[in-house]
Amino acid sequence: MTREIYYADAIREALALAMREDPSVYVFGEDVAAYGGVFGVTMGLAAEFGQQRVRNTPLSEAAILGEAVGAAVYGMRPVPEIQFGDFITSAMSQVVDLMANYHYRNGTALPITVRLPSGGMLGIGNFHSNCWENWFVHVPGLKIVVPATAYDAKGLLLAAIRDPNPVLYFEQKRLYRLVKDDVPEASYEVEIGKARLALEGNDLTILTYGNMVLEALKAAHELGKRGIKAEVIDLRSLVPLDKELIFSSVSKTNRVLILHEARKVAGFGGELAALITEEIFDELAAPIIRLGAKSMPVPMNPNLEAFYLPSIQDVVAAGERLMKY
């Protein structure tokens, strides 16, 4: 049975299902217990599972993720929340030096799922709006997912919690109460490493993820009015990456537009562009175009934030430019 639920509710449902089926799963972070977290995503979990398994922590990201490593080593499946994904910077050593390398160094599985409310487009400023996923793509030993739909939010989170490897789960806080779609009540998984064909087209491929999936679909609709049929690929997973779907789409359309909310400079789009150029250059009929945020701090003023971010108009203009090449 399916019903239409919000992105935030799909995350909560995945947490509850995982905790019911496996007593080693527990949730912890700043204000996640009775308060339900700053976004209310964990609301009600403490009442069902008790405050030993849904536990508030001090305001220390380094301590939160340090505990996660220790708990996983001793057989737990911790699901820590970093209240705003921006503050993962306070725990870089725990993620990069410990979490990512532990299995390589010791042979011990480390089933940690770090929930990271990420992204902006909400007018809440530079400390609460950044997208840092590209930093961690560079680190071997981590899996990285970025769901854009409620269906994927539930299925990817369940897959991440059951995975024996550390997973960084970048949930898009703008989407919590914006996106809703049909989600099964039952437990299911969305395979980590498989992208989603969000919209089929023949003229150009838009590769995107997270918040920008919505913008890409809106831009594709506008391009359609101009006679340009864009194909939209929602990557869903950055590590591992679904090269098969990416390459098949690019080979069909021969034109590529890469779109992400993170800053364009040194963003994940550069890796995608290099990968396509190195492996299927002969399939390209035009240079690859990358669109991302400008290289500046995230503004709080809504008008300035709109200037900072790639817009639907930017995507449409880039699509038209690709078709004229």
Report the 10 Å Cβ neighbour count for 280.
17
Report the 10 Å Cβ neighbour count for 23.
11
> What tokens were used for 254?
């021969």
Cα–Cα distances in Å, from 311 out to 2, 38, 220, 307?
33, 28, 12, 8
Which residue of the set 103, 128, 138, 260 is catalytic? 128
CA 211 and chain centroid, separation? 9
> What tokens were used for 158?
């369940």
Q: 170 by DSSP, 3-state: which?
A: coil
Task: Give Rg (Cα) of the chain.
Answer: 19
> SS in 3 state form for 188-252?
CCCCCCCCEEEECCCCEEEEECCCHHHHHHHHHHHHHHCCCCEEEEECCEEECCCHHHHHHHHHH
Distance, CA of 67 to CA of 258 (rounded, Å): 37
Distance, CA of 12 to CA of 28 (rounded, Å): 13
Helices (H), strands (E): how many in the chain? Answer: 12, 14
Q: 224 by DSSP, 3-state: which?
A: helix
Widest CA span in the chain: 60
Confirm whether 128 is a catalytic residue.
Answer: yes
Phi, psi of 239, deg, nearest 5: -140, 115
CA 34 and chain centroid, separation? 26
Distance, CA of 197 to CA of 207 (rounded, Å): 10
CB contact at 8 A, 289 and 270: no
Active-site residue numbers? 128
